[in-house]
Every structure is written in structure tokens, then in C-alpha cells.
């Protein structure tokens, strides 16, 4: 029964993310006089035996937002790589089992680690946030990051 409830919760959340109104691809949300909500690339950090990209989700706005993830510091995200035809998904798949919505209060931020691409490319991280009323979803994108595989 508990497993069925968790699966139902994940299914509802995924349907929500797919069916929500998505705004344009603005990297940072800016409300005049109300601050911004942005995704910041902080550079590479040594963790878990290797270098991992570090990011911050920053809420400098006056509104609480929420994001979907496995924990406060583990948001679900995607990544895009720049190809000859434009931006394309890197297709990092996530399982929604155990994921839930986490609030991010005004004037606060979280830090989290991502994964590096498996090949040299220009890439960026993509994160979906929602308003607390769960009516609309917005896309945040990090700055473009140039990654080159280390030479052996």
C-alpha cells in the first residue's frame, strides 16, 4: 500500500510537470523590483573521488518557489549540449521514485552537485521550478559551460 501511494505521488508529480504551463526559455526569472530566481554555476568541486560541477539555485525574489528532487540538496535536473543544430538534451534520465517537492524561501539558496558530460562539449544545466500554487512551471538554465575531457 505504501509503495502504491509513493508511485501514485510520483506519477501525479510527473504529470504535473508535463502538463503545467511552461513559460519561455528565460534563464533567470526577473520580476521588476522583486528580485530574481536563478541557477548559478559555481565551478568544479572535488567530491566522490572526482570533479563535479557545483551549482546554486538562488531565490532573491519575494515569493517562495518549489522544485522537485530527492532531497533539499538533490534537485532533479536535466542538461543540454550545444550541437551543430542547436541545444540538444544530454538525456540524463531520472527515476521519480522517492522524489518530492521542496520549497525554497525568498532570499535563500541551495547548493548541489551535478554530473559532467561524458564527452567534451559546451553544455548547461536545466532545472524546472514551480510556484507554490503548482499552477505554472518555469525553466531555469545555467550559463553555458565549456567542458573538455581531461587528457590521460
pLDDT, one tens digit per residue, over 42-52 is: 999 999 899 99
DSSP 37-91: EEEEEEEEEEETTEEEEEEEEEE-SSS-EEEEESSTT-B--EEEEEETTEEEE--
Reported as a pLDDT band with limits 50, 70 and 90, residue 152 is low
Residue 32 vs residues 29, 67, 95, 148, 151: alpha-carbon distances, Å: 10, 22, 36, 38, 46
Q: Which residue is listed with cell 518530492?
A: 100
Q: Which residue is listed with cell 550541437?
A: 83
pTM beyond 0.85: the answer is no
Q: What percent of the chain has pLDDT over 90?
A: 62
Alpha-carbon gap, residue 63 to 54, rounded angstroms: 24
Residue 7 has pLDDT above 70, yes or no: no
What's the mean per-residue pLDDT of the chain?
81
Residue 11 has pLDDT above 60, yes or no: no
pLDDT digits (tens, 9 = 90+) for 93-104: 678 889 999 999
- The CATH number of 2-147 is 2.60.40
Amino acid at each position: 500500500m505504501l509503495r502504491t501511494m509513493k508511485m501514485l505521488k510520483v506519477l501525479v508529480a510527473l504529470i504535473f510537470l508535463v502538463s503545467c504551463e511552461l513559460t519561455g526559455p528565460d534563464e533567470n526569472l526577473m520580476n521588476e523590483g522583486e528580485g530574481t530566481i536563478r541557477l548559478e554555476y559555481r565551478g568544479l568541486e572535488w567530491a566522490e573521488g572526482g570533479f563535479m560541477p557545483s551549482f546554486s539555485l538562488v531565490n532573491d525574489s519575494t515569493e517562495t518557489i518549489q522544485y522537485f528532487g530527492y532531497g533539499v540538496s538533490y534537485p532533479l535536473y536535466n542538461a543540454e549540449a550545444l550541437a551543430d543544430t542547436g541545444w540538444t538534451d544530454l538525456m540524463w534520465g531520472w527515476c521519480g521514485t522517492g522524489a518530492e517537492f521542496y520549497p525554497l524561501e525568498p532570499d535563500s539558496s541551495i547548493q548541489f552537485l551535478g554530473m559532467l558530460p561524458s564527452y567534451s562539449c559546451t553544455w548547461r544545466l536545466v532545472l524546472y521550478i514551480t510556484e507554490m500554487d503548482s499552477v505554472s512551471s518555469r525553466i531555469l538554465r545555467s550559463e553555458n559551460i565549456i567542458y573538455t575531457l581531461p587528457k590521460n
